[in-house]
Amino acid sequence: MTLSIWRWAHLALALVSGLFLIILSITGVILAIGAVESDAYRTDKNITLAETIPILQKNYSEITEISVDHKGYVTLQGTDLEGNPVNAWINPKTGAIYEPVKNPSDFIQWNIALHRSLFLKETGRVLVGIVSFLLLIITITGVILIAKRQQGLRHFFAKIHKDYFWSYFHVITGRLTLIPVFLLALTGTYLFMARIGLTEAKEKIIHFEPEEKEIPVQEFPLFKNTLVKDIERLEFPFIPDDPEEFYILHLKDKSLSIHQISGDLVTETVLPSTTVWEKISLDLHTGRTNVLWAIILGIASLNILFFIYSGLAITFRRKKSLIKNHFQEKEAEFILLVGSENGSTLGFASKIHDQLLQAGHASYLTELNKITAFPKAKHLLVFTSTYGLGTAPSNATRFEHLFNPNTFPKSLDYSVIGFGSKAYPDFCAFAQHIDHFLDQYFSRALPLFTINDRSTEEFSAWVQAWNKAKNMDLGTTPALYTAQSPKLIPFEVINHTQTNPTFILELKPLKKVSFRSGDLLAIYPQNKERLYSVGKVNNHLQLVVKHHENGLGSTLLAELKPGDILEAKCIKNDSFHIPDKSKEIFMIANGTGIAPFLGMIAENTSKKKIHLYAGFRQKNSLSEIYDQWTNTAIRDHKLQSYQVAYSRAENFCYVMDLLVQDSSKFVKAMQNGATIMICGSLIMQNDVEKVLEEILGDLQPYRSQIRTDCY
Ligand SMILES: Cc1cc2nc3c(=O)[nH]c(=O)nc-3n(C[C@H](O)[C@H](O)[C@H](O)COP(=O)(O)O)c2cc1C
């Protein structure tokens, strides 16, 4: 059976029984806490009935019965020497009363009733029984899912690769509490079956011939061989010395009638094994006989609540990226096919799909298993993860079977982007397979790209390559592709330089938000996302924005005045934070790309050696602000040097020329582990990289020392 059927069963049963399971788990935890009581009056382990009975008979004028409960407390019902009725916990060694028997508190009784029958009497009992049975099946399907995930039962307890927080902990705690949860479900089901009479069976009665002799009770062999702690109950003869009245001793698996004069066995009633199992089930289900087991059951019940929550979180994640298409299959030029088990690959594909739609392209997104005819398709993008032993995720298993090359134009080109994890031996094996498969029919636009552990940097490398190959303009900032989408919060405009066309905007977050220089601020003019690099200055966000006349985002920002409120959100951009380890950093910017660097320099309290190279068109009031600002930073030892190139001035030069001038400085510093950060236009980034390649010989060995955020 396929993975999806087991998963579907696991989820459907959990959903059906979810609410009841929540009630049963909460009451189960409370009852488990109740079961973890002190065992102050627990009976002595070694005292026999033969020892205790004469003592009790001396201390009480009449004894109806003694019983031993699951905690090991001995209860005596009878009358004391003064003729007062007694129903108390006693010490079987001395006969002394500890205290009168106390019933469980009202609260515990209320919980017991809720746990057993949801206050719905017989209907409730049936419901609880069914839910227990469903829990049993959920546990079994859960075991199958873990076995599938671990590629076989043999690896059931092998290391689990960390995937998503909730699914990782769902599996980890699932394995840890598997046995108690399984036993809770199994015993709950059995108790229910017993309650509705499904396990009823006849007891076996054996009769014996007692001898006619008289021996004192302390010499009865049966009593000498029976420890008090092992009995459930001992009924005393109603009329002493009457040979027709017997002691009736109830043990776990049988009850014995014992002649009160000779001590011989009269009848033995052997309980059916189903009744014995019922008792064992009750002990296991309630933990009433063992404090440690009661604690384990309490934790397991708590964990059922956690399972419900984490299971919902996993399901929600899978369903989150619902596919929305604005074009029909037959009109679409860009076909995006997705193979995704847990939804993250679909998240990446959706972000590409949204951008294509925004740019006015006819893009169509669907699952690999839902492939149909695409007569106008020009570009096919396959985004797929790999599962199991290098096999397809569950929504991609039938792709090859459904694929018909005649339903695509022959001129189609394709690119496959594989998502996987290097923790598995068959890294992106399914994507490789699809890449070879498609190669038989269409031309490859790009070689296969593989993405390890959902790396947004690696994905951005594919976007850059595809942009180049297809002359597209998709966002290349890795942060654009992170899964978490934070909420909009209000920012107050604190300052606006009112310089033209480029201006500096200072924003104060009105709600708590953590951000660093290099992160991005997303704003949504007319529901379209626009991103700006952020510098952190005095805990405010500082943006440098160029006003484009028809630019949606820049016009909105240009029109803001101090005191205005802007709704926006901060997006983490980890790949463009100042590196903690580097002691020397070369920051290269053009135009508005200077924004994150201003913040990083302002925050440079650890006095890293920072060199700033900036390129602008001409000197103006804004460049004067930068001059003043960098002078102060140099004075405060936050900045080593500031070099600026004006491309439209009389003695024009470019930022690349400044780098060439400092060639030897670059070579030495990069060999010593320095970092280069580039922010600004993509054209500038390309030119800078070419110059750096000339300076450093080969960029490849230094790739990890170069960070870029260009657009
Ligand atoms: C049970 C399991 C098996 C996996 N098997 C592989 C594998 O064989 N090869 C691989 O490259 N990645 C494997 N992965 C990693 C996933 O492909 C990777 O996490 C991917 O990003 C998940 O994408 P999705 O959320 O779209 O399903 C496996 C992950 C899990 C949980």
How does pLDDT run across 70-107, given as a tens digit for each residue?
888 999 999 999 999 999 999 999 999 999 998 889 99
Residues 269 and 342 grouped into a single domain: no
Q: How many domains does the chain have?
A: 5
Residues 537 and 614 grouped into a single domain: no
Residues 346 and 247 grouped into a single domain: no
Determine, yes or no, domain membership for 43: no
Can you give the pLDDT at residue 651? 83
- Higher pLDDT residue, 286 or 161? 286
Is the beta carbon of 163 within 6 A of some atom in ligand 1?
yes
Q: Cβ distance 301 to 25 under 8 Å?
A: yes
Over 80: is that where the pLDDT of 454 sits?
yes
Residue 340, domain extent: 334-480
**Nearest alpha carbon, ligand 1 atom 19:** 420
Pocket residue to mutate for ligand 1, from 323, 385, 397, most atoms within 8 A of Cβ: 385
What are the angstrom distances between the C-alpha of 225 and each of 45, 90, 208, 265?
Answer: 13, 21, 19, 13
Assign 319 a pLDDT band (cuts: 50, 70, 90): low
Residues 695 and 562 grouped into a single domain: no
Spacing, Cα 9 to ligand 1 middle (Å)? 21
| Residue 488 parent element (H or E) | none
Assign 484 a pLDDT band (cuts: 50, 70, 90): low
Determine, yes or no, domain membership for 506: yes
Residues 176 and 240 grouped into a single domain: no
Is the beta carbon of 420 within 6 A of some atom in ligand 1?
yes
Over 60: is that where the pLDDT of 35 sits?
yes
Is the beta carbon of 483 within 6 A of some atom in ligand 1?
no
Can you give the pLDDT at residue 424? 86
Residues 559 and 699 grouped into a single domain: no
| ipTM > 0.90 (yes/no) | yes
Cα angle value 130/134/139 (rounded, 5°) = 150
Spacing, Cα 387 to ligand 1 middle (Å)? 5
Can you give the pLDDT at residue 486? 65
Is the beta carbon of 343 within 6 A of some atom in ligand 1?
yes
CATH code of the domain containing 418: 3.40.50.360
For range 301-323, the mean pLDDT: 84
Over 70: is that where the pLDDT of 470 sits?
yes
Spacing, Cα 158 to ligand 1 middle (Å)? 16
Strand partners, 521: 532, 570
Over 60: is that where the pLDDT of 657 sits?
yes
Which residues are within 8 A (CB) of 282 and not within 5 positions of it... i.e. 6 or more apart? 187, 191, 288
Is the beta carbon of 383 within 6 A of some atom in ligand 1?
no
Can you give the pLDDT at residue 322? 65
- Top mean pLDDT of 167-171, 208-212, 636-640 is at 636-640
Spacing, Cα 584 to ligand 1 middle (Å)? 38
For range 617-633, the mean pLDDT: 95
Q: If DSSP states are collapsed to H, E and C, what string results for 341-363? A: CCCHHHHHHHHHHHHHHHCCCCE
Residues 159 and 219 grouped into a single domain: no
CATH code of the domain containing 553: 2.40.30.10
Q: If DSSP states are collapsed to H, E and C, what string results for 556-623? A: HHHCCCCCCEEEEEEECCHHHCCCCCCCEEEEEEEHHHHHHHHHHHHCCCCCCEEEEEEEECCCCHHH
Assign 3 a pLDDT band (cuts: 50, 70, 90): low
For residue 164, the ligand 1 atom closest to its alpha carbon is 19
Structure tokens at 367: 């699952």
Over 80: is that where the pLDDT of 37 sits?
no
Spacing, Cα 386 to ligand 1 middle (Å)? 5
Determine, yes or no, domain membership for 97: no
Over 50: is that where the pLDDT of 445 sits?
yes
The per-residue pLDDT for range 670-691, each reduced to its tens digit, is 999 999 999 999 889 999 999 9
Closest to 208 (Cα-Cα) out of 273, 271, 270, 259:
259
Which residues are within 8 A (CB) of 159 and not within 5 positions of it... i.e. 6 or more apart? none
Over 70: is that where the pLDDT of 414 sits?
yes
Spacing, Cα 660 to ligand 1 middle (Å)? 45
Determine, yes or no, domain membership for 559: yes
For residue 390, the ligand 1 atom closest to its alpha carbon is 8
Can you give the pLDDT at residue 323? 81
The per-residue pLDDT for range 557-612, each reduced to its tens digit, is 999 999 999 999 998 888 899 998 899 999 999 999 999 999 999 999 888 999 99
Residues 233 and 381 grouped into a single domain: no
For residue 346, the ligand 1 atom closest to its alpha carbon is 26
**Nearest alpha carbon, ligand 1 atom 5:** 387
Share of the chain above pLDDT 90, in %: 72
Residues 502 and 354 grouped into a single domain: no
- Going by the DSSP 8-state scheme, the letter that residue 8 receives in this structure is H
Determine, yes or no, domain membership for 476: yes
d(CA 702, CA 676): 9
CATH code of the domain containing 653: 3.40.50.80
Can you give the pLDDT at residue 383? 98
Is the model's pTM score more than 0.80?
A: no
Q: To which residue do tokens 């792709």 refer?
A: 399
Over 70: is that where the pLDDT of 1 sits?
no
**Nearest alpha carbon, ligand 1 atom 29:** 387
Pocket residue to mutate for ligand 1, from 341, 365, 384, most atoms within 8 A of Cβ: 341
Examine the fold and report which residue of 457, 480, 503 is the final residue of a domain before the chain moves on: 480
